Structure 1
Amino acid sequence: MNPTVVLSTAVAVAAAAYAFKPKKKTELEAKSVPIPEPKSYLPLQIDTVVSYIYNLLRGQDELEMLLKDMKVHGNTINFKGFNDDFIVVTDPSSIQHILAKNQPNYEKGPFFKEIFHDFLGSGIFNADGDTWKSQRQIARPHFQTSEFKDAALINKHVDGLLVLIDKHIATKPDTPLEVQSVFCRFTLDEASEFLFGATVDALKNEQTEFSTAFNYAQTMTAWRFRIPFWKYILPRRRMMTEIKKLDDFVYKIIDDARARQAARAQEKKESGKENEEEEDGRRDTLLDHFLSQQDEDGFDSKYLRDMLLNFLLAGRDTTASLLSWTTWKLVQHPKVLEKLYQEIVQVIGPDRVPGYEDIKKLKYQKQVINEVLRLCPPVPINPRESVEEDVLPNGYYIPAGSAVSYCAYATHRLPELWGDDALEFDPDRWGPERVGKIRPFMFVPFHAGPRICLGQNLAYTTAQLALTRLLQRYDIKASPGFEPHQLGDIVMFSRNGVEVLISHKRPASEF
C-alpha cells in the first residue's frame, strides 16, 4: 500500500477523532447555557465556512447576513468553524461585561495579533497588558482637546479638500463626485500631519505610494480574518512589499524627528537655556510627544513605527467613514440637510470659517452625526479573545480561548433597544426629549471601558468642521440611480464608494 495514502488516512482519522471526541464539561459550563449555533451538516462545520466565504466573494453584505442569523438564533450566536468558537454578542449587558466589568479577561489575543502583526506590529490596537497601558498613557495627553481646539490644522486640510472639490466642479460640473475616496485622502493628510508632522499629500495626488500601500495592507489584513489557513492562500510577498513602502516613509519621518529633537537640545545647551520651556509656537506631533517622554534607553524605531501606523489607521479611516455615510444620509433626507444648513447659517454664518468653539454650538449637527454613528458605526464589529472561561450576564457560557466579538452595527439596530423605528434615520432621537432613553453600552461607536477611543473628540471635531464648511459652500444632492453597498470591513465603507452631485451655492442676491 502506498505509504503516503496510509499516512494521510491516519492523519485524517486522528484529526476526526480529536474533533469528535467528547469533551468533559467544566463545573462552570455545566451550570451555564450553551450559545446557539447555526446548523451544520458536515464535519468541522465545513459547509458553513465554505458558504460564508462563497457569499462574501459574491459581494453579499456580511453585516446583514449577521442580522438575519440573529432573527433565527437570538442576540448571542456561536459561528463555529473547524470546531473553533467565533462568538458574536450584541446585547448591551454582554458588551458592558466584555469591555468594562470583566475587561481583563477579554484581550486582543494571539489570533488577532498574528493577523495584524505584519501591518501594525505591537502598536496600541494590537497589544494587551503593559504594552497597551504604556502606549495609551503616553498618548493620552496629546489627544486632549487643547491639542486641536484652535482647529487651525484641521481647517488647513479642509482648505485642501475644498480646492479639490472646486476643481471637480470646474472641470466636471454635471458628473457625480465619489466623495468616499476624497474624504479618505483628506483624513489621511490631516491625520498624518497631526501624528507625524509630515502630510502624505494625498489630496494633491490620489495615488501616492504611501496611500496605495496603506490601502492594500488594510484590505489584505481584513481578508485574513475571513479566510481559514490564510497563510497558505493570501499573497504574502505582495503584502510585505507594500508594508516595506510604509516602513520606508515612516522610518524617514522618525529619523527626521530624532534629528530635530537632537538639534533643539544642542541649541538649548549652547544657549545655556536647557531648563527653559520652548515657546516658539511650534505644535508638537504625537511622534514628538513620544520622543519627549522616552526614558534614557529610548524607544526604538520599530516601536515608534508601530505606534504611528496604529494611530493613523484609526485616525484616517474612522473619520472618513463617518463623513462618507453622513453625506449619504443627508442627500437621502433633504429636510434634515436643510435644517442642518439653517443651523450653520444662524450660529456661524454663510461663509465665516468656524473654530472649535463655534462647532460646539451646533447642537442639531451633533445629533445628525450621532445618528449616523448609530446606523453606520465606523468599526462595525470588534474582536476579542477570552483568557479564561466565563459566563455572560445572559447566562451563556464562554469557553477559554474563544474568539468573542461585539457587533456595534447590530446593537445599534435592535428594535428592543431603539424602538420599532430602529432602522430609520432620525436625528431627533438624540434631541433633549428622547436622548435620556439611551442607556450605557447601547451606543458604542467609539468603543467603551478602559480602551475607549482616545481620538473620539478629534473625530467629532474634524467631521463637524469639514461638514460645516462643505454645507456653507456647496449644494449636495443625491446622484440618480446610485446606491452604496456597505462593506463590513475593519472599518465600514461602501464597496462602490459614495456618489453625490455637488455644486456651488448660489449667492442670496440671485434668488
Structure 2
Amino acid sequence: MAETTERPPIPKGFRSAELGWPELHRIPHPPHRLPVLGDVLGVSSRTPLQDSLGLARRLGPIFRRRVFGKEFVFVWGADLTADLADEARFAKHVGPGIANLRPVVGDGLFTAYNHEPNWQLAHDILAPAFGREAMAGYHPMMLAVAGRLMDHWDRAVAAGRAVDVPGDMTKLTLETIARTGFGHDFGSFERSRPHPFVTAMVGTLAYAQRRNIVPVPLEPLLLRRARRRNAADMAYLNRTVDDLVRARRAAGRGDGDLLDRMLETVHPETGERLSAENVRRQVITFLVAGHETTSGALSFALHYLARHPEAAARARAEVDRVWGDAAAPGYEQVAKLRYVRRVLDESLRLWPTAPAFAREAREDTALAGVHPMRRDAWALVLVPMLHRDPAVWGADAERFDPDRFDAKAVRSRPAHTFKPFGTGARACIGRQFALHEATLVLGLLLRRYDLRPDPDYRLRVTERLTLMPQGLRLGLERRTAGAVPAAAQSATLPDGTPSESRCPVHGAGD
C-alpha cells in the first residue's frame, strides 16, 4: 500500500518560512540557530512537545522555531489564545502533525480541512449521537466495560501484582468506544498483549510525529523502514474497519449507534449520506481519537490521585456519599461527582492529552492587536503552557490542586484559559462522552480500590501526538467498605450479552 506524502497547504503568495507573518522578525526564537538545520539544538525527536514547553518558559507567550527550513509560531499566553479563539477572525488549522494522519483518516472529523464539505456533513449527522438521550443509552455499556477492567484488577490484587495503568486504561477506552459506537468487542482484557489495532494505531501516531521533524527530502532515507511499517499499520486499520462495517451491513441495523448513523442517516437538509470511504475514515477517527486521549486523561488522573492521598480521600468520600449503596450508579449520578470531575479537570490542566491545536487567520488581522497576520497565517497553541500561565493560574500553577475547578474559581477566570478539547466549531465532538466515561470510571475505581504508588516512580511523559504517562504502575488494595458495583460481578449489555465479568516540566505536581 503506497503512502502519500500529503502536507498541509502553504498559503499562496508567501514563502514557507514566512507563514504569512509580515513581522516575523519581532517574534523571538531560540539562540544558536544553525544554518539549514535551524533550532534543533536541545530538541529530542522523542519529546518535541516537552522541549517546546521549556523554550516557552524562556522565550515568552509567543515564539517561533525553525526546523529544517520549516518555521513554526507557538502561542501560549492567555490573552493571545483568547484572541485566537475568536471564531469570526480565526478557524481551525490542520497543522503538520494532524495533516500527517490524513493518509489513513483523510477528511475525517479531526483531520478535514475547513473547505472540505464532508466535515460539516459528518458533524451534522453525528452530533445527535452525543446528545443527552444517546449518552444515557451508552451508560450501561460503559458500566459493563468498567466491570471487565475491575475483574482484571481484582485478579491482579489476588496475585499481589501492580497494574499497568496506561495499558489497562487503553484497553478500557478502546472497548468502550468500540462497544458503544460500533457494537464491536476487541476482547482486550482477554489478551496478554495489546490488540493489534492498538499496536497499529500507536504506530501511525508515532510515525506522524516523526515526520514533523524530518526534512521531506530526507524521508525516503531516514524513514524507509518506518514508512513500510506505517503502510502495514494503515492497511491493518483499514482492514479491521472494513470487516466491522461489512459485518454490520450483513447483520442489518444495530442499536442506533454511531455506525448506524454513519450508514443510514441522511443530512436533515440536503439528504446527503456519508460515502463508504468517508464512513471508513470516520470509524477509524472515532476508534483512535475516541479512546487515545481519554485513556491518557484517566492515567494522569490516577497518577495524581495515588500521589495525593488527601485528594483521593475527598473524592472517595464524595463517591460513597453520592452513590451510597447502589449496586451500580445511574446515568444522572455520574454528573453529581463534582469533586471527582475537578480531579479530572486538574489532571487535564497539567497534562492535556491533546496538547496543541492550531488556528489560522480567516482574513488579514493582527493577533491581540500586536502581531500582524495575513490571511491563512497560522499559529500553534501550546495547551500545557496555556494551562500554566501564571497570570491566570498563579505562581503555583505547577501544583496539583483540584479546587482550581470549584465553581467560584472557574467563574473568576477569563474565558478560553482551559482548552483540553480544542476550541470553536471544530472542538472535540465527543467531549461529553469522554468526560462522562472518565468520571464514571474514576468513581468506580475509587469506590473499589485504594491506590498505592511506587515511591521510586517519577512521572515521564510519552509523546505520540497525544500524551501518556510512561511506565506508570500502581499497587492496589481492595476496600473493605463500600458497595461493589454489579458491573464488576456479572455485567450484562443492553442486548442481553453477558460481559466477562519527577516531571519533565518542573515537577508538575509530583
TM-score category of the 2 structures, normalised to the smaller one: 0.7 to 0.9
How far apart are 1:41 and its partner, in Å?
4.1
CA distance in structure 2 between the partners assigned to 1:133 and 1:326 by the alignment: 33
Q: Cα–Cα, structure 1 residues 20 and 449, in superposed 2: closer, same or farther, change >3 Å?
A: closer
TM-score for both structures, normalised by structure 1 = 0.83
Residue from 249, 255, 260 that aligns with 1:283: 255
Alignment match, 1:248? 239
Aligned residue identity for 2:411: G
1:160 pairs, out of 134, 139, 148, with 148
Matches of residues 429-468 of structure 1 in structure 2 within 5 Å?
429-468=404-443
Deviation of 1:209 (Å)? 2.2
Which has the higher mean CA deviation after the structures are superposed, 181-190 or 122-131? 122-131
- Residue of structure 2 equivalent to 1:34: 26
The one-letter code matched in structure 2 to 1:121 is G
C-alpha contact (below 8 Å) 1:210/1:246 kept by paired residues = yes
Alignment identity in percent?
Answer: 24
Q: Distance in 1 between matches of 2:73 and 2:59?
A: 12
Given that 1:105 and 1:388 are in contact with CA atoms closer than 8 Å, whether structure 2 keeps it comes out as no
Query: What is the match of residue 208 of structure 1?
Result: 195
Determine the structure 2 residue equivalent to 1:279: none
- Mapped partners of 1:508, 1:211: distance in 2: 34
Match runs of 1:116-195 below 5 Å = 116-127=101-112, 128-129=114-115, 130-150=117-137, 151-171=139-159, 173=160, 175-195=161-181
Q: If each structure's helix is expressed as a fraction of its own residues, which one has the higher value?
A: 1
Asked whether 1:505 is paired with 2:479, we answer: yes
Trace 1:279-428 onto structure 2 (pairs within 5 A): 283-294=255-266, 298-349=273-324, 352-384=327-359, 390-393=365-368, 395-398=370-373, 402=377, 404-428=379-403
Structure 1 partner of 2:67:
81
Is the 2:91–2:359 contact (alpha carbons within 8 Å) kept by the matching residues of 1?
no
Alignment deviations for residues 434-471 of structure 1 (CA, whole Å, 9 cap, x no partner)? 22222211000111211121111111110111111111
- Cα distance in 1 between the residues matched to 2:273 and 2:432: 29
Q: Distance in 1 between matches of 2:205 and 2:365?
A: 32
Distance 2:391 2:288 in 1: 33
Distance across 2 between alignment mates of 1:126 and 1:224: 16
**CA shift at 1:80, angstroms?**
1.9
State the match for 1:12 in structure 2.
none
- Residue 183 of structure 1: how far off its partner (Å): 0.3
Matched, 1:199 2:194: no
SS of equivalent residue, structure 2 residue 147: helix
Distance in 1 between the 2:309 and 2:238 partners? 44
Residue identity matched to 1:249: T
Match of 2:230 among 212, 234, 239: 239
Gaps of 5+ in 1: 1-18, 265-281
Which stretch has the larger CA shift, 208-217 or 246-255? 208-217
Hey, what's the Cα distance between the residues in 1 that align with 2:81 and 2:16? 32
Q: CA deviation at 1:385?
A: 5.3
Contact 1:386 / 1:404 at 8 angstroms: preserved in 2? no
- In structure 1, the partner of 2:506 is none
Which of 86, 89, 94 is the aligned partner of 1:108?
A: 94
Query: Do 1:36 and 1:78's aligned partners in 2 also have CA atoms closer than 8 Å?
Result: yes
Distance 2:83 2:119 in 1: 20
Distance, in Å, in 1 between the alignment partners of 2:352 and 2:317 is 26
Partner of 1:278: none
Call closer, same or farther: CA 1:194–1:42 in 2, change over 3 Å: same
Residue identity opposite 2:417 in structure 1: M
How many residue pairs match? The answer is 459
- Structure 1, residues 59-100: CA drift from partner, whole Å, max 9, x if none? xx4444333322332100111234432011112333233343
User: How many Å separate the matches in 1 of 2:361 and 2:15?
Assistant: 23
Partners of 1:364 and 1:62 in 2: CA distance: 33
Structure 1 35/475 Cα, relative in aligned 2: closer, same or farther at 3 Å?
same
Inter-partner Cα distance in structure 1 for 2:59 and 2:377: 19
Kept in 2, the 8 Å contact 1:384–1:405? The answer is yes
User: 1:251 aligns to what SS in structure 2?
Assistant: helix
Cα distance in 2, alignment partners of residues 98 and 355 from structure 1: 39
Q: Which stretches of structure 1, 4 residues or longer, exceed 6 Å deviation after superposition?
A: 19-23
Per the TM alignment, residue 176 of structure 1 is displaced from its structure 2 partner at its CA by: 2.1
Separation (CA, whole Å) in 2 of partners of 1:223 and 1:42: 20
CA 1:393–1:157 in 2, change beyond 3 Å: closer, same or farther?
Answer: same
Give yes or no for contact 1:79–1:86 (8 Å, CA) kept in 2. Answer: yes
Secondary structure of 1:149's counterpart equals: helix
**Offset at residue 47 of structure 1 (A):** 5.0
Residue 113 (structure 1) shift:
6.0
SS at match of 2:74: strand
Instruction: Please say if residues 315 and 455 of structure 1, whose CA atoms lie closer than 8 Å, have aligned partners that are also in contact.
Output: yes
Looking at structure 2, the residues matched to 34 and 388 of structure 1 have their Cα atoms a distance apart, in angstroms, of 21
TM-score, normalised by the number of residues in structure 2: 0.83
* Superposition pairs of residues 21-100 of structure 1, within 5 angstroms: 29=22, 34-44=26-36, 46-49=37-40, 51-53=41-43, 55-57=44-46, 61-100=47-86
The CA RMSD measured in Å over matched residues stands at 2.9
Aligned partners of 1:258, 1:34: CA distance in 2, in Å? 57
Range 425-434 or range 409-418, more displaced: 425-434
The answer on whether the counterparts of 1:92 and 1:440 sit within 8 Å (CA) in structure 2 is no
Measured in 2, the distance between the counterparts of 1:457 and 1:381 equals: 19
2:97–2:208: 8 Å Cα contact kept in structure 1?
Answer: no
Whole-angstrom distance in 2 between the partners of 1:145 and 1:482 = 40
